[in-house]
Amino acid sequence: MYWYHSPFMWHDGWFGWFGWLMPIIGIVVFIFVAFLIYKLLKHIFTASSFHNDTYSETTNKSLKILNERFARGEINEEEYKRLKNIILKG
């Protein structure tokens, strides 16, 4: 008695019309995973450059305010140097 068919049969076998759907699903999953990897790498590289720009911008604003306070005489030279070191160390 020959009733067992190979599980890899494509024509009227185990898969039927679903056999044509599997390669399409595989391609869609592959494209989705590639898209996720692209977005992750883009986020990593964009975030690091954004962080550096933000840090530099914040440091410049802080030093500008500190210089203005020193110029107006609100703080003495010792205080100015101490605060400047704190700002530059990060």
Structure token pair of residue 86: 């704190």
Output 73 or 55, whichever has higher pLDDT.
Answer: 73
12 has a pLDDT exceeding 60:
no
| Predicted local distance difference test score (pLDDT) of residue 29 | 96
CA–CA separation, 55 and 67 (whole Å): 18
Find the mean pLDDT for residues 76-86. 93
Find the mean pLDDT for residues 51-75. 83
CA–CA separation, 38 and 16 (whole Å): 35
CA–CA separation, 88 and 86 (whole Å): 6
Q: Where are the domains of the chain?
A: 38-89
Which residue in 57, 75, 53 sits closest to 83, CA to CA? 75
Taking the CB of residue 35, how many other CB atoms lie within 10 A of it?
Answer: 10
- CB 76 within 8 Å of CB 66: no
Burial 37-56 (b: 16+ CB within 10 A, else e): eeeeeeeeeeeeeeeeeeee
| Predicted local distance difference test score (pLDDT) of residue 9 | 53
Q: What is the mean pLDDT of the chain?
A: 79
